[in-house]
Structure 1
Amino acid sequence: MYNWDLQNAIAAFVESMRPNWPAQHELYMSALHTFVEMQSHLLTLLGFPPVP
């Protein structure tokens, strides 16, 4: 019923990524900020008022 090999592989992958979590978080926040800023500029370009 359970695929323990797959579960163990996923757990090992997550553990191998643990040292890079601060860098991954910074990359995610940077990409999110860039995306939100682009959408804000697009909406302003389309005539919506900017939100302070």
Structure 2
Amino acid sequence: MSDPVLLDVTCREGEQRPGESYTTEQKIAAVEALDALGVEYVQVGFPIA
């Protein structure tokens, strides 16, 4: 059996809240923090979304 892979969707799903959005700087900080924790895959959404 292979090791589990960590996946995070905070930046993508968090933007789905009405009236809420992350700045570019907040997204970068979140992804850097997740990387430091060992998260291997981060979904951040699409530029057109």
Instruction: Point out the structure with max Rg over C-alpha.
Output: 1
The one of the two structures with greater contact order (alpha-carbon pairs below 8 A, sep at least 6) is 2
More strand as a share of residues: 2
TM range, smaller chain: 0.3 to 0.5
More helix as a share of residues: 1
TM-score when normalising by structure 2: 0.37
TM-score when normalising by structure 1: 0.35
